[in-house]
Amino acid sequence: MRYPGNSSLVGPPWLPRAALAAFILLGAASSPAQNQARPAGYAGSDTCQVCHDDLSKAFGKNPHHSVETGSKPAWKGLACEACHGPGAKHAESASAADIVNPAKQPAARTDEICLKCHLNQPTHAGRLRSSHVKNQVSCTNCHTMHQGPEKLRPTQAGDINQKCATCHNAVWAQFQRPYKHRLPEGAMSCTDCHNPHGSSLPRSIRTVAGNEPSCLRCHSDLRGPFAFEHAPVRLEGCTTCHEPHGSANPRMLTRREVRFVCLECHANIVAGPSLGGVPPAFHDLRSTRYQNCTICHTKIHGSYVDAYLER
């Protein structure tokens, strides 16, 4: 199988690429696949319908039906075989051994079948870096072809979460903690934060406005840029202090109380240069007055006016 540069110029293997362009220009109506004998090995979708009638009728509502009617001209009339490979032999033998089921192939092979047409889509730009690719999770692990639009492309948050949770049940369990985004309620989904196809950020974090983490799409008040940044927010990211999948601590913090989060870095110990500054001496940490750091340092994510993040 090949990865052609231009995904729209993909045809059956019997069609050389040079011929393909002419083939498309001439229009598929006059294609040999339509009018004369099928190319060797191919049976045509109408032949499949003879035995797979229900499935073929349902296919009329599948977005891929446009392939049958010419959206990918080289496959006009051959939509079934665009994914299942040449089927003439199978149409005679009716044996499963003679036909490709993409969902039963090794993951890389399945992906190739789909990427014949779905290459070069922006959503897939980070694919090679994603651990789905590296762990043999293929297109058909998440996309089911013949069971209706919601199974082909889930759009409801609840359906997406359920899909992801089948494999990531430990992550799903974290969303049952007391402080979390409202995924179990179906108000948000994994793909609000992750791009299931991979991304340019670690952990397949979805990007907004170029290369910012998806958090800022919704929490845009924290975007900045601030005159006075709080270094870890910008440099280390939100998950330095928050647990994105849910936490036992209010505000989804990594520690039970705010001050314990702060004192990880701002403690009265000999600190290396990468840590934050030590609070001034007047901060008597034994006094409850100073324990609640964010009473005074309210602009903990960055301030437009105050170097000490107080306003």
For ligand HEC, the binding residues in 209-238 under the rule CB under 6 A are 213-215, 217-219, 222, 230-233, 236, 238
Residue tagged 């009473």 (tokens): 295
- Of 27 and 65, the one with the shorter C-beta distance to ligand HEC is 65
CA distance 141 to 196: 11
115 near ligand HEC, judged by CB under 6 A: yes
Cis amide prior to 184 (ω within 30 degrees): no
Rounded to a whole number of angstroms, the minimum distance from the CB of residue 80 to ligand HEC is: 3
Tokens of 299: 């602009």
Q: Is 24 in the site for ligand HEC (CB under 6 A)?
A: no
Question: Which residues contact residue 125 at a Cβ distance below 8 angstroms, ignoring those fewer than 6 apart?
Answer: 198, 199, 200
Q: Per CB under 6 A, does 38 bind ligand HEC? A: no
Tell me whether residue 31 or residue 191 sits nearer to ligand HEC (CB atom): 191
* 56 and 48 Cβ atoms separated by less than 8 Å: yes
The distance of closest approach from Cβ of residue 266 to ligand HEC in the complex, given in angstroms and rounded to an integer, is 4
In sequence order, which residues have a C-beta less than 8 Å from that of residue 50 and are 6 or more positions away? 91
| Residue 209 Cβ vs ligand HEC, minimum distance, rounded to whole Å | 13
Residues 143-202 that bind ligand HEC (CB under 6 A): 143-147, 149, 152-154, 160-161, 163-168, 171-172, 179, 181-183, 188, 190-194, 196-197
**Per-residue contact string for residues 74-103; x = within reach of ligand HEC by CB under 6 A:** -x---xxxxxx--x--xx--xxx--x-xxx
Q: Which of 11, 12, 31, 64 is in the footprint of ligand HEC by CB under 6 A? A: 64
Q: What number of chain residues touch ligand HEC (CB under 6 A)?
A: 136
Q: What angle do CA 231, 233, 237 make, to 5 degrees?
A: 125
From 14-22, 31-39, 129-137, give the range in contact with ligand HEC by CB under 6 A: 129-137
**Considering only CA atoms, which of 222, 231, 223, 189 is closest in space to residue 206?**
189
The whole-angstrom distance between residue 25's C-alpha and the CA centroid of its chain comes to 35
Spatial contact of 88 and 108, defined as CB atoms under 8 Å apart: no
Q: Which of the residues 237 through 296 are near ligand HEC (CB under 6 A)? A: 238-242, 244-245, 251-253, 258-259, 261-266, 276-277, 279-280, 283, 285, 289-296
- Of the chain, the end-to-end C-alpha distance in Å amounts to 60
- ∠ CA 131-135-139, rounded to 5°: 85
Burial class, 145, CB count within 10 angstroms (exposed 0-12 / middle 13-18 / buried 19+): middle
* Least distance between ligand HEC and beta carbon 226 (Å): 11
Backbone angles phi, psi at 74, to 5 degrees: -65, -20
- Rounded least distance, CB 26 to ligand HEC, Å: 19
- Nearest distance from C-beta of residue 35 to ligand HEC, angstroms: 18
**Which listed residue (116, 226, 246, 249) binds ligand HEC by CB under 6 A?**
116
Least distance in angstroms from the C-beta of 144 to ligand HEC: 4
